Amino acid sequence: MKFDTPATHNPIDQLKVVGKPLDRIDGPLKTTGTAPYAYEQHEAVRNAVYGHVIGAGIAKGRIMSMELEAARRAPGVLAIVTAANAGKLAKGDFNTARLLGGPAIQHYHQAVALVVAETFEQARAAAGLVRISYDRAGGAFDLAAAKKSAVVSEREQPDIAVGDFAGAFAAAPVQLDATYTTPDQSHAMMEPHASIAAWDGDKLTLWTSNQMIAWGRGDVAKTLGIPKENVRLISPFIGGGFGGKLFVRSDALLAALGARAAGRPVKVALPRPLIANNTTHRPATIQRIRIGAAKDGTITAIGHESWSGDLPGGGIENAVQQTRLLYAGANRMMQARLATLDLPEANAMRAPGEAPGLMALEIAMDEMADKLGMDPVEFRIRNDTQVDPEKPERAFSQRQLVQCLRTGAERFGWKKRNPKHGGVRDGRWLVGMGVAAGFRNNLVMKSAARVRLGADGKVTVETDMTDIGTGSYTIIGQTAAEVMGLPLDKVVVRLGDSNFPVSSGSGGQWGANSSTAGVYAACMKLRQVVAEKLGLDAETASFADGKVSAGGRSVALAKAAESGEVVAEDSIEFGDLAKKFQQSTFAAHFVEVGVDIATGESRIRRMLAVCAAGRILNPKQARSQVIGAMTMGIGGALSEELAVDKRLGFFVNHDLAGYEVAVHADVPHQEVIFLDEADDKSSPMKAKGVGELGLCGVSAAIANAIHNATGIRVREYPITLDKLLHHLPAMA
């Protein structure tokens, strides 16, 4: 099915099943512990043995020698895989560094060996007997120091220039020129990177925790140098990814190599200390923002420059992308620069680009409002735009940012905010409110599905779409139920298998909209086949309550399959509507904080997110996504930072004891409001996405609330108490 014209009225608009806050159909499996994750495929994989990954002890250099004999003689050891005996390996399309290093080392904890043994304990003990000597080379580990050598990345983000930014900024009566920094961050998902590999002749089956099955299958095949049809990836349940599992990592490759070497299925899970340095992370940024405005608050010039780093061949953290579209301003300049660093690989993490970009931009907007003496909400509203500021002829398909801000201000009690910073006290706490806009582009990808109608009247959906904890099973089931006129319990959903049609996969906030649109396309084709089998006019037939009706006749849906299963397969392919209309999602985040006047400890008191993100397919699941993102925003604002050892080039706090994410005690009352919206330019579902929007702007709203509470402006995340303590007002 080609989607190249705006959607008209279709079966989804009935909203009998879609749009309802239904419980997750995989909920019972999750709550009873019977959902089989990658490492837990006990029924599918018998007689599996265990692999333990050894990571490099240097950040850059070469392996001079590896002493393996003691490990080989250790009890239970079946095989040891290194670059010397793994055979010829290519580098996958989605990896910056090689997944198995040696003799050259590209980053700290790059995998250099796998020890395979009968038990996990034996593999781990034997790995401790391996002795590796290195020739350490000097490297670049400091973004600030490497900033001067950073270069433009034309492939990802060419420089943007509209009007005369320099002239307009210089002439602006009110100006802001400030620099902000965001740190390296870890995905810190609950389930570690884990895989089980089994060979059957020259065919490999890999159960792995991966968000993008088709990408992963292609990279495994390319890396091993085998035909793609000889690789099967299975990932039915994923315990969190946040972008860290978009691409196959060393656990998957080494499990495959270990299984081939040992002649047995092999299980590999990365220990928590390896995840921060061995896998990907969100890179640190340095951002300079300049805003010039007239005295009435109209922005006349806006400039955003960003610097980030990655290994050679890597990419930028595109922190300027939201600034291109969020606010008006005739004179504009955006630049993103990439420095070469020898730290572990940087790559996508939840809302890549916009999350750190808004951490800076939305503080800058508050600072500018202060300079103008304007309310921060009104300043943002004053500079709203309904068209792409770089291409005014290109309108937004829908844009309800102003409605988000106004609705949020009213619901949150914004009018009670004291504009005098440091002016509200509640016992030992200084109390303040903050606001920030949220923005995330609407991305869509081709997505396919296969649907089967059985004689029992049930419809089974098959697609390689994944569920990373977001509820894909349920919204895909709701889509099929809506289109086929069935209750949700008459739909069976099967996901995460490369034997199924290729879907969009999960990531970038594109998964829900794209994958359900692919299921919609397959179900519409099934409707046509069913109607024809029943001798009904497919164009006028209605599907409801398990029946198909047309021309005065009504026939049970199951009758179409009484002589055999009816199967249909199709995909959604998106045309150029995204070029004609700017498609984005918007939010307004409001936060109230308390700051201890004696210690500088910051505590979130309450939070509100108002989101405009197209049709909400399941409000209960969408709310879960947003409050989870808001919680991640708390960590990003107050605690999350991968501390870099700038001498040796690694992240020091590489576990959940040292890398502090928000926990239950940090999370206050959270409220989420979804504005009524259905975007006919986006897909037949008229949906967009919300999982990343819920994060975008949250940390800045917290920073702005802390400033309102204390009068202290912090431009360096995370906002730890040491950055506040010496600037707090007197306690008396």
What's the chain's length in residues? Answer: 732
290 Cβ contact list (under 8 Å, min separation 6): 169, 175, 176, 177, 301, 302, 303, 304
Contact 412, 609 (CB under 8 A): no
Q: Is 539 a residue of the active site?
A: no
C-alpha–C-alpha distance, residues 192 and 39, integer Å: 9
Q: Give the residue carrying structure tokens 């099955």.
A: 213
Q: Give the residue carrying structure tokens 């990907």.
A: 280
Say which DSSP state 501 is in. P
Q: Is 87 helix (H, G, I), strand (E, B) or coil?
A: coil
C-alpha–C-alpha distance, residues 487 and 17, integer Å: 8
Q: Give the residue carrying structure tokens 């593999």.
A: 123
Contact 526, 231 (CB under 8 A): no
CA angle 534, 538, 539 (to 5 degrees): 160
Residue 82, beta-bridge partner list: 113
Beta strand spans in 215-284 (E): 231-234, 266-269
Other C-beta atoms lying within 10 Å of the C-beta of residue 83: 18
Residue type, 408: G
Q: Give the residue carrying structure tokens 């390996």.
A: 89
Q: Give the residue carrying structure tokens 């925790």.
A: 209
579 Cβ contact list (under 8 Å, min separation 6): none
Contact 682, 614 (CB under 8 A): yes
> What angle do helix axes 213-224 and 250-262 make, rounded to 10 degrees?
50
C-alpha–C-alpha distance, residues 663 and 416, integer Å: 29
C-alpha–C-alpha distance, residues 319 and 327, integer Å: 15
Contact 316, 347 (CB under 8 A): no
Contact 301, 329 (CB under 8 A): yes
Residue 243 has which token pair? Answer: 């972008």
Residue type, 306: S
Counting Cα atoms < 13 Å in the Cβ hemisphere of 672 gives 24
From 317, 354, 640, 692, active-site residue:
692
C-alpha–C-alpha distance, residues 454 and 565, integer Å: 5
C-alpha–C-alpha distance, residues 137 and 272, integer Å: 26
Other C-beta atoms lying within 10 Å of the C-beta of residue 89: 16
Residue 512 has which token pair? Answer: 């829900």
Contact 92, 99 (CB under 8 A): yes
Active site residues: 692
